[in-house]
Amino acid sequence: MILQRRNRTLRRSAAIRTMVEETVLRPADFIVPMFIIEGENQKEEIPSMPGYYRYTLDLTVEKAKEYYQKGLRSVLLFIKCPDELKDNTGREALNPDGLMQRSIRAIKSAVPELVVMTDVALDPYSSYGHDGIVQDGEIVNDATVEVLAQMAVSHAEAGADFVAPSDMMDGRIGAIREELELAGHTKTGILAYSAKYASCFYGPFRDALDSAPGFGDKKTYQMNPANRIEAIREVLDDVAEGADIVMVKPAIHYLDIIREVKEAVTLPVAAYHVSGEYSMIKAAAANGWLDYRSAVLEATLAIKRAGADLIASYFAPEIMEWI
């Protein structure tokens, strides 16, 4: 054959392939989720997330230092609230000496350069396991948003760099921004979980925090997996209300959404490679059905290639060892 061009030319050797590589993972792309528990010097493996742990605050601080030394630049904090502190209004979420607020202070003082992001939603604190306040079997929007805005201010006061509302209530980005401004927290960023789907892939996370909904599901606030255009509407609303970063969640099953969101906004786009997506790869690798490292890197690259500027990932600490 006489061909104009042979596309295999650019795949011929490892050096050439590297030269023309379009997508490259770098340490600062990642946000590492961390699960924090009360107590001292303890770690608990999460049964449905093999290789991932809940740590007490002292060990969390050590991990945070280690992550920063390895090149990671950001963590996203979640706490496991003791059952006796849970109620319907999420009062513990506003406790200035609550586990979240203590954790923010401890990490920021040990590793000031590390970007500390915090989950803002009521589910870990809710006796019903829902992201908002429950009235007559419904998750009420406006009363929840009031608490979320106070929660965000409380995290900002403790030193959080970004608050990350993951609740999917309407109007919460605007309300949080306004309360932060009124409280003088003009440097606190908002990473908005803008297109968060009602996904079965959050199951292992709910095991980690013991935060599964006590009744019903989250479909009246999280998005229907069947919808695409709605994701753009959610994202544009959050942009208009003052989000600094918008996020799509889950990631691997929503690569089309990541791409469309990336094309619709001028803000950085994050994607959350969620717990169930982590556990799937772990389980397949444990059975010898997939090569672990190749699967993790291919999946993570796909998320970035789709358009994610930032990736929240349980694989991040391991990926750091490989890239």
Binding residues for Mg(2+): 234
Report helix, strand or coil for 96: coil
Question: Looking at 196, 262, 282, 304, which residue is catalytic?
Answer: 196
Tell which positions 95-134 bind ligand PBG, by CB under 6 A: 119, 121, 123, 131
Could you say whether residue 253 binds ligand PBG (CB under 6 A)?
no
Could you say whether residue 260 binds ligand PBG (CB under 6 A)?
no
For residue 82, whether the previous peptide bond is cis, meaning omega lies within 30 degrees of 0, is: no
Among candidate residues 210, 252, 194, 273, the one with its CA nearest the CA of residue 78: 210
Instruction: State in angstroms the smallest separation of the CB of 206 from ligand PBG.
Output: 6
Does residue 304 carry a catalytic annotation? no
Does residue 249 carry a catalytic annotation? yes
- C-alpha distance from residue 314 to each of 36, 161, 275 (Å): 14, 20, 7
* Nearby residues of 69 by Cβ (< 8 Å), 6 or more positions away: none
Q: How many chain residues interact with ligand PBG (CB under 6 A)? A: 12
The 3-state DSSP composition of the chain as helix, strand, coil percent (nearest 5) reads 45, 20, 35
Could you say whether residue 275 binds ligand PBG (CB under 6 A)?
yes
Question: Looking at 86, 249, 262, 282, which residue is catalytic?
Answer: 249
Give dist(CA 174, CA 113) in Å, integer.
Answer: 27
Give dist(CA 160, CA 152) in Å, integer.
Answer: 9
Instruction: With contacts defined by CB under 6 A, name the span among 37-45, 86-94, 200-208, 294-302 that binds ligand PBG.
Output: 200-208
Q: What are phi and psi of 115, to 5 degrees?
A: -80, 115
Instruction: State in angstroms the smallest separation of the CB of 36 from ligand PBG.
Output: 14
Residues in the chain: 323
**Beta carbons of 271 and 251 less than 8 angstroms apart:** yes
Q: Closest CB to ligand PBG among 128 and 205?
A: 205
Q: Closest CB to ligand PBG among 65 and 80?
A: 80
DSSP collapsed to 3 states, 194-222: EEEECCHHHHHHHHHHCCCCCCCCCCCCC
Q: Closest CB to ligand PBG among 121 and 173?
A: 121
Instruction: With contacts defined by CB under 6 A, name the span among 58-66, 103-111, 198-206, 227-235 that binds ligand PBG.
Output: 198-206
- The strand ranges marked E within the chain are 30-37, 43-46, 49-56, 74-79, 115-120, 133-135, 138-140, 162-165, 189-196, 245-249, 269-273, 310-313
Show the CA angle centred on residue 34, arms to residues 180 and 316, nearest 5°.
110
Tell which positions 37-96 bind ligand PBG, by CB under 6 A: none
| Binding residue for ligand PBG, selected from 162, 205, 254, 315, defined by CB under 6 A | 205
Instruction: State in angstroms the smallest separation of the CB of 203 from ligand PBG.
Output: 7
Instruction: State in angstroms the smallest separation of the CB of 13 from ligand PBG.
Output: 38
| Binding residue for ligand PBG, selected from 162, 197, 202, 315, defined by CB under 6 A | 202
Q: Closest CB to ligand PBG among 152 and 274?
A: 274
Give dist(CA 110, CA 119) in Å, integer.
Answer: 20
* Nearby residues of 97 by Cβ (< 8 Å), 6 or more positions away: none
| Binding residue for ligand PBG, selected from 100, 274, 310, 311, defined by CB under 6 A | 274
Could you say whether residue 166 binds ligand PBG (CB under 6 A)?
yes
Residues in the annotated binding site:
234
Instruction: With contacts defined by CB under 6 A, name the span among 55-63, 153-161, 199-207, 229-237 that binds ligand PBG.
Output: 199-207
Instruction: State in angstroms the smallest separation of the CB of 302 from ligand PBG.
Output: 17
Residues with catalytic roles: 196, 249
- Can you give the binding site for ligand PBG, defined by CB under 6 A? 119, 121, 123, 131, 166-167, 202, 205-206, 218, 274-275
